[in-house]
A and B are shown apart, each in its own frame.
Chain A
Amino acid sequence: MSNKINPALNYEKTMRSAGYVPRKQATQKTYDAIGFMSGLEVHQQLLTKQKLFCRCPAGIFQKPEEYHAELIRHMRPTLSELGEYDGTALMEFKTRKNIVYHINSRTACTYEVDDTPPFPLNREALDIAIRIALLSKLNIVGEVHITRKQYLDGSIPTGFQRTAIIGVEGEIPLKNKKVRLIQLSLEEDSCREVSDIGHQRVYRTDRLGMPLIETVTYPDMKNPDEVMEACNYIRFLNRSTGLVRTGIGAGREDVNVSCRGGTRVEIKGVSRTKLIPELTHNECFRQWALLKIRDRLKDQVKQQKEWKIKPEPLKSIAGKLESQRFKELSNNGHKVMAVNLPGFGGVFSHFTQPGKCFANEIADRLKVIACLERPNMTCSEDLDPMLADNDWDQVRSLLNASPDDAQIIFWGPEDDIKTALETIEERCIMAFSGVPNETRKSLADGTTIFERVLPGADRMYPDTDSKPIPLEDSHIKKLGQDLPSDVIERYHQLKTWGVPEDSYHYLFTHNLYPVIEKIIAGLDQDPKKIGKLFGHFLKYIAGHYKRSPDFSYERIYDLYKYVVANKLDAEIVKIMLPVVYQYPKMDFDSVLVNLDFKRFSKDEIVSNIPFLKDKYKSIKTSKLPEAEKHWAMGQLRKMAVGNIPLKELMGII
Chain B
Amino acid sequence: MTDDIFQGYKGAGLEVLKKYNVRVWGQAEVLTSRGDFKGTVLPRSENDDDQHIVLKIATGYNIGIDIATITAMTETGYKKANYKIPEKEFPITPGLPKVKLLGTGGTIASRLDYRTGAVIPAFTPGELYGAVPELADICNLTTEKLFAVFSENMGPEQYTTLAVAIGKEIENGIDGIVIGHGTDTLHYTAAALTFMVQNPPVPIVLVGSQRSSDRPSSDAALNLMHATTAAGHGDIAEVMVCMFGPTSDEYGLLHRGTRVRKMHSSYRSTFRTIGDTPLAMITRQGLQHIKQDYNPRRKDRQVIIKPYFEEKVGMIYYYTNMQPDMIDSMVDNGYKGIIIIGTGLGHVNKPLYPAIERAVKKGVAIYMTVQTLWGYVHMFVYDTGRDLMAQGVVPAENMLPEAAYIKLGWALGQTSDLEKVKEIMMTPINDEITPREPYNGYLIYQGGVPEVEEFIKKFHK
Contacts and interface: CB of A to CB of B under 8 A. Distances in A.
Interface in B192-223: 211-218, 221-222
A557 to B, nearest CB: 37
B48 to A, nearest CB: 6
A74 interface: yes
A470 B66 contact: yes
B217 A168 contact: no
A168 B57 contact: yes
Contact of B131 (A79, A144, A461, A467): A79
A51 to B, nearest CB: 17
A596 interface: no
Interface in A101-142: 103, 110, 113-117, 138-142
B461 A70 contact: yes
B216 A68 contact: no
A93 to B, nearest CB: 9
A265 interface: no
B27 to A, nearest CB: 15
Interface stretch (A15-23, A158-166, A613-621): A158-166
B60 A114 contact: no
A115 B86 contact: no
B63 A141 contact: yes
Given A71-B247, A142-B52, A470-B52, A158 B59 contact: no
B114 A461 contact: yes
A79 B62 contact: no
Contact of B217 (A110, A159, A471): A159
Given A68-B457, A69-B461, A142 B215 contact: no
Contact of A182 (B36, B59, B67, B114): B59
Contacts of A470: 49, 51-52, 64, 66
B214 A79 contact: yes
Chain A CB within 10 Å, residue with most, of B62, B82, B211, B453? B62
A160 B35 contact: no
A460 B60 contact: yes
A183 B82 CA distance: 27
Contact of B86 (A71, A83, A139, A150): A83
B57 A77 contact: no
Contacts of B457: 68-70
Interface in B32-53: 32-37, 48-49, 51-52
Given A73-B248, A114-B211, A115-B266, A165 B61 contact: yes
B114 A110 contact: no
A12 interface: no
Interface in B47-87: 48-49, 51-52, 54, 57-69, 81-86
Interface string B349-368: 00000000000000000000
B419 to A, nearest CB: 47
Contacts of A458: 60
Interface string B83-126: 11110000000000000000000000001101101000000000
A145 B215 contact: no
B268 A142 contact: no
A83 B120 CA distance: 13
A114 B117 CA distance: 21
B63 A165 contact: yes
Given A76-B218, A83-B85, A113 B247 contact: yes
Nearest to B213: A78
Contacts of B111: 79
Contacts of A69: 456-457, 461
Nearest to A146: B62
A168 B457 CA distance: 45
A502 B439 CA distance: 74
Contacts of A444: none
A163 B61 contact: yes
Interface size class of A (residues with CB under 8 A): 35 or more
* Of listed B34, B36, B51, B222, residue having the most chain A CB within 10 A: B34
Nearest to A151: B216
A159 B249 contact: no
B413 interface: no
Given A140-B34, A160-B215, A457-B59, A468 B52 contact: yes
B267 interface: yes
B57 A70 contact: no
A462 interface: yes
A147 interface: yes
A142 B266 contact: no
Given A69-B461, A77-B216, A158-B215, A145 B61 contact: yes
Contacts of B217: 73-76, 114, 157-159
Nearest to B62: A145
B250 interface: yes
Contacts of A89: 216
A155 B266 CA distance: 21
A83 B85 CA distance: 6
B52 A143 contact: yes
Contacts of A626: none
Interface in B233-276: 246-250, 264, 266-268
Contact of B64 (A141, A158, A461): A141
A457 B59 CA distance: 6
Contacts of B64: 141-145, 468, 470
Nearest to B115: A81
Interface in A433-457: 457
A72 interface: yes
B460 interface: yes
Interface string A593-613: 000000000000000000000
A168 B52 contact: no
A169 B247 contact: no
Most chain A CB inside 10 Å of its own CB: which residue of B35, B69, B456: B35
Nearest to A142: B66
A83 B63 contact: no
A237 interface: no
Nearest to A92: B216
B34 A74 contact: no
Contact of A141 (B51, B65, B67, B461): B65
Nearest to A472: B66
B50 to A, nearest CB: 12
A622 interface: no
Given A113-B247, A115-B268, A75 B216 contact: yes
Contacts of A75: 216-217
B214 A461 contact: yes
Interface of A: 68-79, 81-83, 89, 103, 110, 113-117, 138-145, 147-148, 150, 152, 157-160, 163-165, 168-169, 182-183, 185, 216, 457-462, 464, 467-468, 470-471, 473, 476
11 contacts: A68-B457, A73-B248, A74-B249, A78-B215, A83-B85, A110-B266, A114-B217, A138-B35, A183-B57, A460-B61, A462-B117
Given A78-B213, A143-B65, A147-B61, 19 more contacts: A78-B216, A79-B130, A79-B131, A79-B214, A81-B83, A83-B82, A83-B86, A113-B247, A139-B36, A140-B35, A141-B65, A142-B67, A143-B52, A144-B64, A147-B62, A165-B62, A168-B35, A458-B60, A470-B51
Interface of B: 32-37, 48-49, 51-52, 54, 57-69, 81-86, 111-112, 114-115, 117, 130-131, 211-218, 221-222, 246-250, 264, 266-268, 453, 456-457, 460-461
Q: Lowest 7 CB-CB distances: which A-B pairs, in order?
A: A143-B64, A159-B216, A139-B35, A142-B66, A457-B60, A460-B60, A145-B62
